[in-house]
Amino acid sequence: MYTDGAAGSHAERAARAFSAYRDGDAEAMSDLVDTTTTLLWHTARGQGLDPAQAEDVVQTTWLLLVQHAPSIHDPQAVLKWLITTARREAWATAKKSRREDVREELGEDVGATPTQSDEPEQVLVRGQEQVVLWKHFATLSERCQQLLRVVAFAERPDYAHVAEALGMPVGSIGPTRGRCLAKLRLALGADPSWDVAS
């Protein structure tokens, strides 16, 4: 949804909704939840969580927003706060479930760090363009895949916001590509079938 809507960026709309909510408008949050849950879902899923875990992370993130609402000083940063929180919660969940897996296998806790789920992801690719894109996307680092997955659902003016929330800041001036997207572009540019696919 890379559109520059008249109502401002997602981050700006989120800021307005959050301010209204804090001023006592309980309904103001409804649209924010509707429009932001997709970003939070892909943030959690990108960290390798299964669907049930990702659902929990999304709901927990919203609950934490309610709890922390009084202490969030800058409403302009609320979108970033949400994505950052979802990422941290997802990371903690992945770490915990990894430990439980190891405990099951070894009967002890060896303090494993989170990694991507071992299960191969079921991906539906339709048409030549998606096939080529997916082939090169799959060669990127996990971090880049996580970032681009969420950025793909973000609006263009929010690119820098989202990247920063995911711990991969891009240039502060304007929506520059950043290294992950640049790597993808290099790969696609070197593949003649990408041009043909358009």
Partner 1 sequence: MNEDLDRLAAEPVDAEDLRALTALRSIFADSDPVPPGLAERSKFAMTVAALEAEVAQITAASAEAAGVRTTTYDRAQTVTFSSAHLSAMITIELVDGGRARISGWVSADGPTAVELRERSRTQTTETDAEGRFGFPQVERGLVHLLLRRLDLSDSRPVITPAIEI
119 counts as binding partner 1 under rule CB under 8 A: no
Total chain residues near partner 1 (CB under 8 A): 56
81 counts as binding partner 1 under rule CB under 8 A: no
5 counts as binding partner 1 under rule CB under 8 A: no
Give the binding range for partner 1 (CB under 8 A) out of 10-18, 90-98, 99-107, 145-153.
145-153
- Give the separation between CA 34 and CA 31, rounded to whole angstroms: 5
110 counts as binding partner 1 under rule CB under 8 A: no
Distance between first and last Cα of the chain: 19
Give the binding range for partner 1 (CB under 8 A) out of 12-20, 41-49, 79-87, 95-103.
41-49
73 counts as binding partner 1 under rule CB under 8 A: no
Q: Which helix (H) or strand (E) holds 87?
A: helix 78-106
Distances in Å between the Cα of 106 and the Cα atoms of 100, 112, 129, 145 are 10, 12, 44, 31
Q: Which residue carries 């302009």 as its tokens?
A: 76
- Give the separation between CA 160 and CA 166, rounded to whole angstroms: 10
Binding residue for partner 1, selected from 153, 158, 165, 166, defined by CB under 8 A: 153
